[in-house]
Structure formats: structure tokens, C-alpha cells
Amino acid sequence: MGYLYAFGAFLCIGSYLVPSRPAKSKGLAFLPILGAGLLLGLIPLAKYLWELSRSPKWFEASLFAGILWCGGQAMANMALEEMSLAKAAAVFNVNTLLNIAGGILLFGEAKDSTHLPRLVCGGLLLFAGAVWVAWAQASPHRERNLKKGIAWSLGAAVCWGVYFMPLVSLQRSAPDASMTPLHELTGLMLGGGLAALLVGFLGALRVEWRKDAGYGLSTAALWIFGTFCFMSSIGYLGLARTVPMVNANVLVYACWSLFVFKELPLSQLPRVLGGCLVLVAGIALIASA
């Protein structure tokens, strides 16, 4: 069941950034629209949010995780203004190294020393594949500043590499059988949604609310379902194994980037697919550990 949840997360998280591409609100301006979508998504989940609020430790950890996620999303939006989806998604995968380190060093996952070489080698392959894809040559006028894009992407990777750790830590130190992934998800949505709206308010950004409402809701819906699958998979497989499999979504983003948005010329197809295959090889190693 854990692998099925990971596949659902792979597909949804591998597509949730796509609606922001045709949106009129660019960069940080799209963030409050996404935040509004997340808060609207809480309406059918109000029961779970109420139950979560009655457990202060879990409520605070979920809110904090949501704020960390929002920080990563803000930097990801900035990165996508500078580089293609395929390149940004490849660099985002650096968060896998942080999750592997956290899973092993902080939470004692994969204690068997015979598994450690596979996890480490798999992580290195993921990193190598990301670098390979990142240096693919973009189509003319499809890329602004690659260095800035990589810097923003690395910042997003750091936030996304640690934002689940407060919840995983609480699951280990103070387990509560009544707290399900849906409870944790509502806290993430509340923290991330409020932080996103705050960015829009403080930044005095030009937000096209009417024109981009549909894009924001689509992005939020894909993220909510994908994150639910992601969190459910962590419960079955652990952080160190789930994240690499979900991060194989770079293959999905590569297809969007190459064939739909034409951000990379088809001449770069061998390089992009080659880098993605290296990523997949790393994922296979980690999943088998």
C-alpha cells in the first residue's frame, strides 16, 4: 500500500507546478492564489482541523511544517521565472539527500549497515542526474538567469528537505494513534495557506485573482491530494525511502517541459532523459535498501 501511495504522490506532485506556467500572476504573485486555494480546501476537512487543534503539539508541528513548505514554494516560484520546469524539478531533488540524512541520522531508519551503501550511492546518483539535467541548453527566450534559478531551486530544496521533519519527529517521540495523515495535512494547509497570503499582503504584489483563480485551485487540489499520498506513504515506508520515489516526478516535469511548454529543444532530449534515468537509477537503489 505504501508504494501505491508513493505512486499517487509521484503523479500529483509531478504536475502541481504546471498550472502556474500559463497563469498571469508570475513568481511570488502566484503564491497567495495558491494559499487561498489551500484554505478553501480546508472547508471539507474542517472536522480534522478541529481535532488537530485539540492536540497542541501536533497542531504547532503541522503549522510549522506548513510554513517551511511555503518558504520552499516561494523560492520554487522564483526559480520557475528563471529556468524551465525540467531543470528546476531536477535541482529540487537535492532535497532527497537531506531526507535520507534525516531519516538515517535523526530517526534511525535503515539501521542495518548493509543498506547504507545503497542509500548513499542512490543519493549521489540523484544529485548527479540533477546536475546533468540542469545544464541542458534551453530554447531561445525560455530561460532568464540560470544561476539565479539554480540558487532559488536549491533554497526550495532545503526547505522541502526539512519541512516534514517536525512531524516525523513528533511521530517518533509522542506517537498518537488518533492523528492520521489527514489531520497532519490540515495543519500543513493552514500554515502554508496563511503564510502564502501573508507574502501576498506584505509584498504588495500584482495578483490577478480573477484570471488565475482556476489555476490556483488546480494547483492546490493537486498538491493536497499528492501530499496526502506522500504522508500516507511515509507511514508505511519511512521518510528515507518515500521521498526518493516521489521525487522521481522529475520525469513527469521533463515531459511537460519538453513536449508541452517547449522550454527545452528536442535536441536536448537525450541529455534530459539521460539525467532522468540516472535519477531513476538512484531511486531504484534507495527503494531496494
Higher pLDDT, 203 or 19: 19
Q: How far apart are the first and last CA of the chain?
A: 18
pLDDT in tens, 41-53: 999 999 999 999 9
Q: Would you state the pLDDT for residue 63?
A: 95
Higher pLDDT, 184 or 246: 184
Provide the residue ranges of all domains of the chain, joining segments of one domain with +.
2-288
C-alpha cell at 170: 513528533
**For the residues of 35-73, what is the DSSP string, one character each?**
HHHHHHHTGGGHHHHHHHHTSHHHHHHHHHHHHHHHHHH
CA distances from 286 to 116, 235, 269 (A): 9, 17, 26
Confidence of residue 142 (pLDDT cuts 50, 70, 90): low
Q: Would you state the pLDDT for residue 108?
A: 62
- As a whole number, mean pLDDT of residues 219-227 equals 95
CA distances from 230 to 4, 9, 189, 214 (A): 10, 5, 14, 24
CA 120 – CA 198 distance, rounded (Å)? 38
Q: Residue 95 CB: number of other CB atoms within 10 A? A: 25
- As a whole number, mean pLDDT of residues 78-94 equals 85
Q: Would you state the pLDDT for residue 222?
A: 96
Confidence of residue 213 (pLDDT cuts 50, 70, 90): very high
pLDDT in tens, 157-171: 999 888 888 888 887
- Label residues 59-80 b or e (16+ Cβ within 10 Å = b): bebbbbbbbbbbbbbbbbbbbb
CA 39 – CA 271 distance, rounded (Å)? 40
Total residue count of the chain as it appears in this document: 289
Q: Would you state the pLDDT for residue 273?
A: 80
